[in-house]
Every structure is written in C-alpha cells, then in structure tokens.
Amino acid sequence: MPLCYLVWIVIVLLFNIAELIHFNLQLWYTLPILLQEMILMFNNIDLFTQALGIEDPWKLDKIDFNKKDGRLDIHISHKRGSKFPCPECGKKPPIHDTKERTWRHLNFFQYRAYIHAKMPRTKCTEHGVLQVKAPWAEPGSGFTMLF
C-alpha cells in the first residue's frame, strides 16, 4: 500500500513536470511569434509612412487590417503641440479644434484602403477658422490624390 502511494506521487509529479515543460515550450514558441508580429507592425508603419509620403508633423498611428471585411484602415494623427499654416496666409495660428475625417485611398491589393485623420482647423486672426489642408488629399475631397 505505501509503495502504491509512492508510485502515484511520482507519476503525478512527472505529469506536473511534463506540463511545466510543455507550458515553457509553448511560451518559447509563442514569444518569438509575438515579437515577429510586433516588428512586422513597426516595419509596416515605417513602410506605409514612406509609401504615403507622410511627413512631420503628421504621423501614422496604426494600421488596422480586416481580412474578413476586405479593408485596410490607416490612422494618421499629428504630433502634440504641432502648428499648422493658415490655408490663406501661411501664418501658424493656434489650433481651433479637430475633426475626424476619412478618405478613400488606392486599393491595397484586393483590399479597400481608407485613411482616417483628426484634421485640425486653424484660428487665424485675419482669416478666421479654416480647415488645414491634408497633404494626401485635395481640399474638400473624400478621396486621396492617388485614388
């Protein structure tokens, strides 16, 4: 009877060790994949920033890729504290407010691509509140210049 008990404890212990090793292996397999995905994501942001010609003070925040819906959503914002020229005189007045806008961009392979950006409006002492021009689109257009 005590021997049976001992054997049982050894078996349970072995199972636990096996489980632990398995878990560790899983972790070792998952970690590089996660890292790779993170690197890919960063590289994509770099790639898209260059491909779209996004320049300071604009920056690419994130890219959402939805395979099921067949779409790619590119989110752009501007650096905090940035100043933009008044579309009329080019002076850099303070930002009045921002408004989320969406543009249809060229397809990314078979996927529809959209650019989203919080567009600032400047408040010029001479020309009042005006929408800042997006470098990737004609004023008032819902499409990017490349579309």
Q: Which residues bind Zn ion (CB under 5 A)?
A: 86, 88-89, 124, 126-127
Beta carbon of residue 33, minimum distance to Zn ion (angstroms, whole number): 51
Give the integer Cα–Cα distance in Å for 87 and 103: 20
Of 61 and 88, which has the nearer Cβ to Zn ion? 88
Please choose, from the candidates 53, 47, 48, 72, the residue with its C-alpha nearest in 3D space to the C-alpha of residue 145. 53
Residue indicated by tokens 């790639």: 47
Beta carbon of residue 103, minimum distance to Zn ion (angstroms, whole number): 24
Of 52 and 130, which has the nearer Cβ to Zn ion? 130
Of 89 and 145, which has the nearer Cβ to Zn ion? 89
Burial of 96 (0-12, 13-18, 19+ CB in 10 A): middle
Per-residue CA distances from 26 to 19, 21, 33 (Å): 10, 9, 11
Of 77 and 122, which has the nearer Cβ to Zn ion? 122
Please choose, from the candidates 79, 73, 82, 78, the residue with its C-alpha nearest in 3D space to the C-alpha of residue 44. 73
